[in-house]
Amino acid sequence: MPQIMKYRKITDKYTTYTVNDEENRITELCTINGDTYISVPDDFILANQSQKIKIVPVTMTDDLKKQIEEKSSHIQLINQRVRGKIRDKYAIEDEIKIIRNKINGVKVDEYAAYHQYVEDCIQEGNLQKAKLL
């Protein structure tokens, strides 16, 4: 499970100082109130960082997690892909019809297959998010 850390980017006349990630293993999640949140793999060592920035670990609260999920383009992309995968198989009109049939006790097997597919898509997205958060 990755560590979530934060820092403030520092900009002087010539340079913006950010996290040094020569191996491209750190994911910048988002910026909230000037703090840039990053996802760092457990086995990654933050060596050779600029003295100008201070990287600190974050205690993940439900509120912070919600804010990151709302602002992170990576999380939004995962959510978009989950919706797209569901939409590839079921149009919204089809979903409404399947749910209406379920409520009326008709074609319950069709609903079970639909529900399982949607849950599988959501679970796949949650696994991808867990790699970041």
Please name the residues in contact with 48: beta carbons below 8 A apart, sequence gap of 6 or more.
20, 22
Pick the closest to residue 47 from 66, 75, 72, 19 (CA basis). 19
Q: State how far the alpha carbon of 115 is from the alpha carbons of 60, 61, 82, 119, in Å.
A: 31, 30, 14, 6
Confidence of residue 22 (pLDDT cuts 50, 70, 90): confident
CA distance 113 to 4: 37
pTM over 0.75: yes
Please name the residues in contact with 72: beta carbons below 8 A apart, sequence gap of 6 or more.
29, 30, 37, 132
Mean pLDDT along residues 17-34: 94
Q: Which sequence spans correspond to the domains of the chain?
A: 3-59, 73-130
pLDDT in tens, 51-104: 999 999 999 999 999 999 999 999 999 999 999 999 999 999 999 999 999 999
